[in-house]
Amino acid sequence: MLFDWHYAASLLVDAAFWKAAWLVVELSVATWLIGIVAGFVLALGKQSAFVPLRAACGGYIWLFRSLPLLVLLIFVYNLPQVLPWSSGVLSDPFWAGLIALSISETAYIAEIHRGGLLALNKGQLEAGKALGIGFVGLQRLIVLPQAFRVALPSLINEYITIVKLTSLVSVISLAEILLVGERLYTQNFKVLETMLAVSFYYVLIITVFGHLLKMLEKRLDVTRRKHAVMIDVAVPPAQASNGVANAASATGDARSDARALEAVGVRKRYGHHEVLKGIDLNVRAGEVVSIIGPSGSGKTSLIRTLNGLETLDDGEVRLHGRAFLHSAHRGHGKAPRGDYLRGILDIGMVFQNFNLFPHKTVLQNVTLAPRYHRRLTGSALDESGMQLLAKVGMAAHAHKYPHQLSGGQQQRVAIARALAMQPSIVLFDEPTSALDPELVQEVLKVIEQLARDGMTMIIVTHEIQFAFRISDRVVFMEGGTILSDGPPLELANQKTSRIARFLKDVHIA
């Protein structure tokens, strides 16, 4: 029998096929979108610390990845025999097919999302928490955009799989592309011609939507965007310092006896290893305190407990004389939510590895927290952000992305972001240790300017000379305890102690 090319060509403009193709588009897109949303929730649940939720989500994924789609389709379509009340929906092949496909695909897409979540740097979540952003806000503003970008290539591939899986819905008599073809070749026995047309429609759908989704992937990939043009932004000096001046004014430019932050009997352990052994630390308003000591002495653990990034095993942290954090043994480890939120917004945090949000521009990084907390909106918000960037010498880079900046530039942006909520205290966790030597000074100059502006600061650093030059007090830690806490000259003049051995190779002017 000769291949009937004329007949095959006529099927390319057949109304029944085009109607079936549109049905496949509706079914596949709806399944994909439902799977993306439900799968993300499922992936979050599988990583939850709440064991019953984690077990339930894991069980769902295990069951529906194990169950063949064909079996699930037949089961769902015939479910009204057991549950008559469901016949209004499930007796319609489209809705039965959509529900079965969505149930099955959600399990697969959840694992794709989980891969995206695992790829997210923990520091991104910590940066969001340090800005006082709640769980839902973290997922919406930070986690989902980044995890979705990582997962998108696999999600695109899964959409292609869904398009092809729609052919199975023909078993419940949904008039999709394959069923239309089957009906035709059972009438005229022109199987090859009909299946060629069926193949054409599937390839067309996958090609068109594959191209559209690739465009979406390219658009979301900020690393492919052209290097932003540097702009010359003139900000009056008085305005440029407003962000810091306002924060400093809360405590006054001069040192005072008012206690800005107190750590009382703070203990922290990881397993059986106790890294903080009853730390007592008082920081007065307007004071600059540097924490030095050998690696592993507990410096970073201490500063991370002061703003709640690490829970306390014992002791408490007080902020401006009010309860802020306490041991988990005494409750949930935090002051009442309102007090805790006010406290966390009053403490800025600058991380060792910057932890800028890579999917947001420099200006968006700085304005994220004020926008989320509704401190400012519109042009006033952008103006405030530009003033802070000007303060740290980064206004000309406002519309770049973090990957387009040097390490020193990223850290200066991180400082501006920490100042955006006008905190009265800023914590620095080894702010220069991740920088090349030639970039260190540009960050230290910004910190030194903050000290002159009267900002209360606690700085964990290995830059010993800088710490002695800028600090009102220097705290020396070793083995999870504070060995010395006093003015820089007092520590520098010690000749025989452990501190003297630590400082023996350091020239302190």
Q: Is 222 buried (19+), middle (13-18) or exposed (0-12) by CB count in 10 A?
A: middle
CA distances from 377 to 77, 246, 279, 281, 383 (A): 51, 18, 41, 37, 10
The per-residue pLDDT of the chain, averaged, comes to 89
Q: What is the pLDDT of residue 233?
A: 47
Model confidence over 12-69: pLDDT tens digits?
999 999 999 999 999 999 999 999 999 999 999 999 989 999 999 999 999 999 999 9
pTM of the model: 0.84
Whether the predicted pLDDT of 494 surpasses 80? no
3 state DSSP class of 478? strand
Residue 355 — left, alpha, or beta (φ > 0 → left; ψ -120 to 50 → alpha)?
A: left
DSSP 181: H
Quickly state the pLDDT bin for 496 (edges 50, 70, 90). Answer: low
Structure tokens at 169: 């819905």
CA distances from 237 to 249, 286, 390 (A): 17, 22, 9
Q: Which of 307-316, 319-328, 338-347 has the highest mean pLDDT?
A: 307-316
Strand-strand pairing, 347-350 and 322-326: unpaired
* Percentage, residues of the chain above pLDDT 70: 90
Whether the predicted pLDDT of 228 surpasses 70? no
What are the backbone dihedrals phi and psi of residue 473, each rounded to the nearest 5 degrees, phi first? -140, 150
Q: Which of 44-58, 240-254, 483-497 has the highest mean pLDDT?
A: 44-58
3 state DSSP class of 292? strand
Distance CA 81, CA 426 (A): 65
Q: What is the pLDDT of residue 376?
A: 87
Domain ranges of the chain: 5-220, 246-502
3-state secondary structure 85-135: HHHHHHCCHHHHHHHHHHHHHHHHHHHHHHHHHHHCCHHHHHHHHHCCCCH
Quickly state the pLDDT bin for 335 (edges 50, 70, 90). Answer: low
CA distances from 20 to 24, 185, 186 (A): 6, 16, 18
Least Cα distance to 505 among 478, 471, 465, 461 occurs for: 465
Whether the predicted pLDDT of 240 surpasses 50? no
* 233 or 457: which leads in pLDDT: 457
Model confidence over 472-487: pLDDT tens digits?
999 999 999 999 999 9
Q: What is the mean predicted confidence (pLDDT) over 430-436?
A: 88
- CATH number 2.60.40.10 given to 5-220: no
Quickly state the pLDDT bin for 256 (edges 50, 70, 90). Answer: low
Distance CA 465, CA 482 (A): 20
Question: Which amino acid is residue 498, in one-letter code?
Answer: R
CA distances from 172 to 72, 94, 317, 381 (A): 11, 9, 64, 56
With vertex at residue 360, the alpha carbon angle to CA 426 and CA 149, rounded to the nearest 5 degrees, is: 125
Question: In CATH, which of 3.90.1720.10, 3.40.50.300, 3.65.10.10, 3.30.360.10 is domain 246-502?
Answer: 3.40.50.300
Asked if 310 and 304 count as a contact pair (C-beta separation under 8 A), the reply is yes
* 277 or 252: which leads in pLDDT: 277
**CA pseudo-torsion sign 249, 254, 260, 261:** positive
3-state secondary structure 190-253: CHHHHHHHHHHHHHHHHHHHHHHHHHHHHHHCHHHCCCCCCCCCCCCHHHHCHHHHHHHHCCCC
Strand partners, 457: 288, 426
**Helix 362-372 and helix 407-419, axial crossing angle in degrees, nearest 10:** 20
Which ranges constitute the DSSP H helices of 346-463? 362-372, 378-391, 407-419, 437-452
Model confidence over 352-398: pLDDT tens digits?
999 999 999 999 999 999 999 999 889 999 999 999 999 999 999 99
Please give the order of strands across the beta sheet that includes 425-429: 347-350, 425-429, 456-460, 288-292, 473-478, 481-486
Q: What is the pLDDT of residue 243?
A: 47
Q: What is the pLDDT of residue 238?
A: 43
Quickly state the pLDDT bin for 491 (edges 50, 70, 90). Answer: confident
Model confidence over 159-182: pLDDT tens digits?
999 999 999 999 998 999 999 999
Whether the predicted pLDDT of 333 surpasses 90? no
Quickly state the pLDDT bin for 255 (edges 50, 70, 90). Answer: low
CA distances from 409 to 11, 355, 378, 405 (A): 61, 13, 25, 6
